[in-house]
Structures are given as structure tokens and as C-alpha cells.
Amino acid sequence: MAIMQEQTLATANLRREKPDAPSTGRAARLAIRRNEHAGPTSGLAPGFVQANLAVLPQALAQDFLQFCQRNPKPCPLLGISAPGDPGIPALADDLDIRTDLPRYRVWRDGEVVEEPTDIMAHWRDDLVAFVLGCSFSFEEALMADDLPIRHIERNVRVPMYRTNIACTPSGPFAGPMVVSMRPFKPADAIRAVQITSRFPSVHGAPIHLGHPHSIGIADIAKPDYGDPVPVEADEIPVFWACGVTPQAVIAAAKLPFAITHAPSLMLVTDLKNKQLAVL
């Protein structure tokens, strides 16, 4: 497990924005497919929806679908593949779930055993891919309103934390909600609530403001995933439900086999962020 964490942390040191970064979803996927981009995807293809991934055997697909329906804040469902089909035409015509993310996590018995750059060797005819909304979409709206995003300013991954908020279970899927955190001054936090409320399919409004300990976060300087960022004296931490939640649930359920994205290394789709706004 330590090796897997080191590999993921190493990708965070790559620059998240480059002058020649792909400008469309398809260009981003092709660059990733050709191993031309291996790091976090924040900053790639501005305006295009990025997404979390969970791949499960068909025997567990109905239970996980119900888990997403019961927990729409951390698991807003954007698309599902047919069993054994690596494509999801509703998200992109040429999408290949097996190759189009910079890094994956392969889980066995609730533990990460490998972090490959493609999952061709692990693909099976009974696998179903679930694609879930990602906070990168609402970050674009926040920045458009001149609200600062600390982890983007510092070129690191967003900090994410396991909480004491229990998800509504479905079959073997049960466990803690994971949240992502962005610090804001109080007036900006209010504006952030207003802006992100327009995007329910990518986590929507925050679930908690301030007082990390009240949702089970003992030390905000030590995230469970991603990288720490400072919270200044005149700021409050603002917490959104996070699409890494399925990974905490997979670990808690000790599933025999599953595949997810590596945190902050997302699937870039052809959907536009503005398509997801409800107002």
C-alpha cells in the first residue's frame, strides 16, 4: 500500500497546467491514451466535464447503482457502461474506460494492489463502469466568479478526508462519506454555496462549513487523500461531498475485486460543464 501511495503522490508533482495542455475532452483523452499526460487532470480541457470512476463486476452493479441513487451528493451518476463494454457513448463517442485515465487503482479484498496506467490486463466481460460527477466542474464556476481555489493556486491536489458521516447502505456498499475541502473567507464561502448549488450533478452545495472535528476530521493538515493546504486565520474550511467516497466504501466492504480512478487523475469527457448547470 505504501508503494501505491508513493506512486500517486509522485504524480502530484507534475505541473497541472501546461501551455500546450489539451483544450478539448477528446484531445485530453488521446494524450492520456498515448501516455503523453500522466499527472493530475485539473487544468486539462477547460470547460469539459471530468469524472470519477468505479468499475465493478456485474453481480454487484445493481447494488452499487442503488448506492449511488441513495447517496447522490458523493456519488452523482453521469453514466454507466453495458457489461464488458469499455465505451459510454453518452459521455464521448470514442471513450475507452480501459485506457483514458492517467492512472487507475486495482482493488482486491479492499486493498489497493496496483496503480496501472491502463486496465487492459484486468478487463473482463462482466465488468460495469460507473462514471460519477467531479468537483473540478464547479471549480471552474468558482474561478469564473473570482473566488480563489487554494490547491489550484499551489499546484497540488485538493485535500480529501474521510468523515464520520455514514452513507446510506446498499447491499455490501456502506461506509463513510469522503469530502473535499477548499478554504474561503466567510463572504466568499456564502458565494461558493450559491454557485455550487447550481451543479447538483457534480456534488452541488457544500455539506459542511467550518468545525472539521464535528464531521470526524481530527487534523485538517493531514488529509486522507490529496495534499494539505493552509487555512488562514480569516478563513473557514468548506467541505463538499467527494467522488472518492466509493473508494472508502470499497475498502470498508473488502470487495474481492474493483477498479477506480487514482484520486485527482480523472476521466475527461466531451460533456460541457455549462450543460450541468441547473440555473
Residues 129 and 255 in one domain: yes
pLDDT at 275: 87
Tens digits of residue pLDDT in 131-142: 999 988 889 899
Residues 13 and 73 in one domain: yes
Residues 130 and 260 in one domain: yes
Residues 123 and 141 in one domain: no
Helix (DSSP H) and strand (DSSP E) numbers for the chain: 7, 11
Distances (CA, A) of 217 to 181, 205, 214, 239, 278: 11, 19, 7, 11, 31
Tens digits of residue pLDDT in 84-141: 999 999 999 999 999 999 999 999 999 999 999 999 999 999 999 999 999 888 898 9
Question: What is the number of domains present in the chain?
Answer: 2
Residues 93 and 213 in one domain: no
Residues 143 and 130 in one domain: no
Tens digits of residue pLDDT in 213-263: 999 999 999 999 999 999 999 999 999 999 999 999 999 999 999 999 998
Residues 172 and 214 in one domain: yes
Asked if residue 175 is part of any domain, the answer here is yes
Half-sphere exposure at residue 244, Cβ-oriented, CA atoms within 13 angstroms = 25
DSSP 157: P
CATH number, position 63: 3.40.1640.10
Residues spanned by the domain of 15: 2-134+251-276
Asked if residue 160 is part of any domain, the answer here is yes
Residues 35 and 107 in one domain: yes
Instruction: Give the cell for residue 181.
Output: 475541502
**Which segments within 109-247 are labelled E, that is strand?**
111-114, 127-133, 160-166, 176-184, 208-209, 236-241
Tens digits of residue pLDDT in 25-78: 999 999 999 999 998 898 789 999 999 999 999 999 999 999 999 999 999 999
Kindly report the backbone phi and psi dihedral angles of residue 108, in degrees, each rounded to the nearest multiple of 5, phi listed first: -135, 125
Are the C-beta atoms of residues 103 and 11 closer than 8 Å to each other? yes
**pLDDT category of residue 5 using cuts at 50, 70 and 90:** very low
Residues 128 and 18 in one domain: yes
Asked if residue 246 is part of any domain, the answer here is no
- Fill in the amino acid letter for 121: A
How many Cβ atoms sit within 10 Å of the Cβ of residue 273?
20
- Which residue shows C-alpha cell 463486476? 57
Residues 196 and 61 in one domain: no
- Fill in the amino acid letter for 5: Q
Asked if residue 265 is part of any domain, the answer here is yes
Residues 77 and 145 in one domain: no
Residues 130 and 157 in one domain: no
Are the C-beta atoms of residues 163 and 179 closer than 8 Å to each other? yes
CATH number, position 177: 3.30.2040.10
Flag whether pLDDT at 2 surpasses 70.
no
